[in-house]
Amino acid sequence: MLCKGTTIIRIGRSGITSYCRCFEINNRIKLPVETMKEKTKERMKADYAADIPMDPALLDDAWQQTRKYPLHWLKPNGFESWPGEKQKNIGRRLREKASARLLWNETHLAVGVEMEDSDVVAEGTRDQDHLYLQGDTIEVFIKPLKANYYWELYGTPNNLKTVFFYPSRGYLFLPSCAKQKAEITVCTKVFGTLNDWRKRDMGWNMIMKIPLAMLTRHGLEFETGEWSIMIGRQNYSAFLPFKELSSVPKLSCPDFHLYEEYAIITLNDSKKTISQK
């Protein structure tokens, strides 16, 4: 007997496949894991700007007209095992909000971040350090989809910066990953006072400008849909009951190296690609 169910058509690497929905249901056919991941990955759009404005007030048209992506609260490690009163005091929401935007051109990818911050603190004194242990930090992770290597980039309210490069996640914490040139540019603006916990601040903004020559030197072009990104925040404050972690896209756990959950970068002009320098 011929089935009169709905015909399913799927386009995959092996070509076009068609079959009846009843066949799919009865045989419990599932999409390949990698295909499902591609369907569910969040995307972040980078708008094109011939000249990327570097005023961290982020009031230029190029920044104002591009999409904002809010950062999401991340549950601290061990949260569920803490006493109930501590959990209640800390809460399950982001107290100090932040949002990120992306711009790009033929030479750079730029990340602009606006943050509420009641106590802007940055105790680091030098570039190429583990600045997230020394105060407020924005961390940008960038990884090509077709390779294991990726970058971990920092910017702080006092304009310090760090570039870590990992040939693979299997190289985590090896000293060689930190022996990089700080090729990025970081510009910040603090709304309040830096490093004075007695005074309540309003927040801070940051622009991080990332040279595409750095990203493409290992052979892969910077193309739309071929790179992924995660923007994370470490927020210290005397006015918070606990340090806040947040990210975009929202990660399932507070692991900034969880690149399986990074967002795919979409360039608003897919005709433009950046060749290897």
> Residue 40 has what pLDDT?
59
Query: Could you read off the pLDDT of 71-83 as tens digits, one per residue?
Result: 999 999 999 999 9
Read off the pLDDT band of 41 (50, 70, 90): confident
Q: Beta strand pairing status for 244-248 and 72-73?
A: antiparallel
The two three-digit tokens of residue 105, written as one number = 């051109």
- For residue 153, pLDDT over 90 is answered with yes
> Residue 26 has what pLDDT?
43
Look-up: residue for tokens 């400008």?
A: 209
Read off the pLDDT band of 30 (50, 70, 90): very low
Query: Could you read off the pLDDT of 65-110 as tens digits, one per residue?
Result: 999 999 999 999 999 999 999 999 999 999 999 999 999 999 999 9
The two three-digit tokens of residue 85, written as one number = 């009163």
- For residue 29, pLDDT over 50 is answered with no
Read off the pLDDT band of 276 (50, 70, 90): very low
- For residue 114, pLDDT over 50 is answered with yes
Separation CA 25–CA 276 (nearest Å): 46
Lowest mean pLDDT among 19-23, 124-128, 183-187, 265-269: 19-23
Give me the mean pLDDT over the 128-155 stretch.
98
Burial class (CB in 10 A: 0-12, 13-18, 19+), 95: middle
> Residue 269 has what pLDDT?
78
> Residue 36 has what pLDDT?
36
Average pLDDT over the chain, rounded to whole?
Answer: 88
Q: Domains of the chain (ranges plus CATH)?
A: 1-30 (no CATH), 41-267 (2.60.40.1190)
Lowest mean pLDDT among 26-40, 43-57, 235-249: 26-40
Look-up: residue for tokens 């806040």?
A: 244
Separation CA 49–CA 64 (nearest Å): 12
> Residue 12 has what pLDDT?
39
Read off the pLDDT band of 11 (50, 70, 90): very low
Separation CA 23–CA 8 (nearest Å): 10
Read off the pLDDT band of 14 (50, 70, 90): very low
Give me the mean pLDDT over the 235-253 stretch.
97
Give the rounded percent of residues in the chain with a pLDDT score beyond 90: 82
